[in-house]
Amino acid sequence: MKLQRLKAIAKKELIQVWRDPRSLMIVLLMPLMQMALLGYGVSLDIQHVPVCTYDRNGSPQSQDLLKLFEASPYFKIVRDASSYHEVSQALDRGDCKIAIVVPPDFSQHLDTAQATPVQALLDATDDNTASIAMGYAQAVIQTFSAHVQLLRQQATGQPPLKVATQAQSRVWFNEDLESRNFVIPGIVAMVLALVGAQLTSLTLSREWERGTMEVLISTPVTRFELMLGKIAPYFLIGMLDAALCLSIAVFWFQAPFNGAVTTLILTTALFLLVVLGLGYLISAGIRSQVGASQVALLVTMLPTTLLSGFTFPIDQMPAPIRAITFLVHSRYYVTILKSIFLKGSSLLQLGLPILMLVIYAAIIGILATRAFRKTLD
């Protein structure tokens, strides 16, 4: 391998990028757009669930219960219905996701210390939101029930009940329980995977479409030198994009960063080698820029979004799907990013995902080198 030939290929590729508006758009605009859209648009936190209420009792006790729902950050009362028909219409139109119906004998049952059911009607077209909203509603009602029991004990002069066992919880790594803190690192992984593969997927296909492949083949450049020369400029561009995305994650979205910068830089560089090699492999097999770009989008966007743990927890997937996730390169980088950001993990603690990325990079590098042949066939 001669450094002079490598530099010549890298310089040629930089000139191609500068003259190609589409590549420049991918480099400059895509990371910013994706970080902004996904950073603000993707959230797994459920708050301000629209609620309609139907108070059939109209007593101070029933109003106290509904005021607890109004004070909760998880609910937003949007309508006070006056009949079941109005409740049904509100649910049908999607005006509210949950309806709380207080029975007419609510206060009488409370005064006589009887069990007092409260009806909750849920729109379960989104079953995840419905189940979480139901859990929140039960917590509000349990809070009200505990308050009523305490008032009754104080009124009768009874001492408060002592609980034999209590659970004292302490949250580690994401103390605020905000989904943004673990979603944002996943967005960084998706942006780098998509941008890196998209850029290098056009390298060889561009040569075929512009008719310059014949000249390139006639040079003494080896296949390995060609691959390194083509990837090197995009590696530098990718690291700049990575620095931009990670800076936005930390300083704009205020994602907690507890790890070492050197660990982040080394693992990001390793992941970029994987995605750039994957894009080059696609470019070596597909001579159309449009086709190569579409395949690169398919093999990066979908696996990173669905199978990397970015949005859906891997341990909750069926066993066959969990097995497939081991083949997704983004899975390991998402794990690394979340561990560095939230846990402050070191290189030694991240040994397994780093090893998998090294293996992935070696396999992709070998396949990409052999995929290109210096022939016109």
- 301-346 residue pLDDT tens: 888 888 888 777 888 788 898 899 898 889 999 999 988 988 888 8
pLDDT reading at 266 higher than 90: yes
pLDDT reading at 5 higher than 90: no
Average pLDDT over residues 226-255: 86
**pLDDT at res. 45:** 66
Query: If DSSP codes are grouped into helix, strand and coil, which group holds residue 253?
Result: coil
CA distance 377 to 369: 17
Query: If DSSP codes are grouped into helix, strand and coil, which group holds residue 298?
Result: helix
Nearest to 334 by CA among 365, 311, 361: 311
Phi, psi at residue 347, to the nearest 5°?
-60, -40
One-letter amino acid for residue 31 of the chain = P
**pLDDT at res. 189:** 86
Per DSSP, the residues of 69-97 read HHH-TTEEEEEE-SSHHHHHHHHHHTS-S
151 compared with 286, residue with greater pLDDT? 286
84 compared with 159, residue with greater pLDDT? 84
CA distance 71 to 25: 46
Give per-residue burial for 8-29: e unless 16+ CB within 10 Å, then b: ebbeebeebbeebeebeebbee
pLDDT reading at 161 higher than 60: no
- Structural contact between residues 174 and 342, judged by C-beta atoms closer than 8 angstroms: yes
Instruction: Please state which of the ranges 12-16, 68-72, 179-183, 333-337 shows the lowest mean pLDDT.
Output: 179-183
pLDDT reading at 168 higher than 70: no
Average pLDDT over residues 275-284: 88
For residue 100, what are the β-bridge partners?
Answer: 53, 120
Instruction: Categorize the per-residue pLDDT at 252 as very low, low, confident or very high, splitting at 50, 70 and 90.
Output: confident
Instruction: Categorize the per-residue pLDDT at 274 as very low, low, confident or very high, splitting at 50, 70 and 90.
Output: very high
Instruction: Please state which of the ranges 182-191, 212-221, 227-236, 255-264 shows the lowest mean pLDDT.
Output: 212-221
Structure tokens at 199: 């850029």
**pLDDT at res. 358:** 93
138 compared with 212, residue with greater pLDDT? 138
Whole-structure pTM value: 0.77
Query: If DSSP codes are grouped into helix, strand and coil, which group holds residue 196?
Result: helix
**pLDDT at res. 374:** 65
Whole-number mean pLDDT of the chain?
82
Query: If DSSP codes are grouped into helix, strand and coil, which group holds residue 262?
Result: helix
Q: Find where tokens 């993990």 sit.
A: 345
Give per-residue burial for 140-175: e unless 16+ CB within 10 Å, then b: bbeebeeebeeeeeeeeeeeeeeeeeeeeeeeeebe
Domain ranges of the chain: 10-43+178-371, 49-155
248 compared with 127, residue with greater pLDDT? 248
117 compared with 41, residue with greater pLDDT? 117
Query: If DSSP codes are grouped into helix, strand and coil, which group holds residue 245?
Result: helix
The CATH code of domain 49-155 reads: 3.40.1710.10
pLDDT reading at 105 higher than 70: yes
Long-range CB contact pairs, 177-183, < 8 A, 24+: 178/45, 179/43, 179/44, 179/45, 180/39, 180/43, 180/45, 180/253, 180/255, 181/255, 181/256, 181/341, 181/342, 182/338, 182/341, 182/342, 183/38, 183/42, 183/43, 183/44, 183/310, 183/311
pLDDT reading at 238 higher than 80: yes
Query: If DSSP codes are grouped into helix, strand and coil, which group holds residue 168?
Result: coil
Question: How do beta strands 75-80 and 119-122 pair?
Answer: unpaired
Name the percent of the chain lying above pLDDT 90: 10
Average pLDDT over residues 235-249: 87
Average pLDDT over residues 157-182: 63
